[in-house]
Amino acid sequence: MPNKKDIIKTLKDKGYRCTNQREAILDVLLNNENHFISAEDIYIKTKKYYPKTNFSTVYRNLEVLDNLGVIHRTNTDGKKAMYEIICEDSHHHHIICKSCGKTEIVDFCPFLNIKEKFSNDGFKLTDHKFELYGYCEKCNEDN
């Protein structure tokens, strides 16, 4: 569980301010821990905390948070990006249902196995993406 105060401190240390909109967006992300959420859903939920938040503001803040390493951005389906707050003490991956979009956590991380292997390959590794796709029990039954 990432600490909200720590994140806000990180922001301030970097010269960023703590606006109502930014805090609301952060709250949405924190409440959605361990699950991907789209920019649009973040926008909708953020408006419940701070109704006059604008969609552009959401995108601008997601970029800031991504650059600071507070959130993780990915493209699971190829269309819209998905976001998730980063929990240093529980690095994980996802299994995603191709039918309903339901996700579950996968604790296994292949990066640990391969990290050293590539350290001397010219490439300097920084990130990795590991996602499993399939059909969840429910969607599997429906077909």
Partner DNA sequence: ATGGCTGCAAACGTTTTGCACTTTT
Partner DNA sequence: AAAAGTGCAAAACGTTTGCAGCCAT
Q: Residue ranges for the binding site for Zn(2+)?
A: 97, 100, 136, 139
Quick check: 78 binds DNA (CB under 7 A)? yes
The residues facing 74 across adjacent strands are 82
**Chosen residue from 2, 22, 28, 84 binding DNA by CB under 7 A:** 22
Structure tokens given for 19: 């606006």
CB 50 → DNA: shortest distance, Å? 7
Q: How far is 44 from 67, CA to CA, in rounded Å?
A: 23
- Residue 60: which of 89, 88, 21, 8 has the closest Cα? 21
Residues that bind its own copies (CB under 8 A): 73-75, 78, 81, 95, 97-98, 104, 106, 108, 110-111, 113-114, 117-118, 121-137, 140
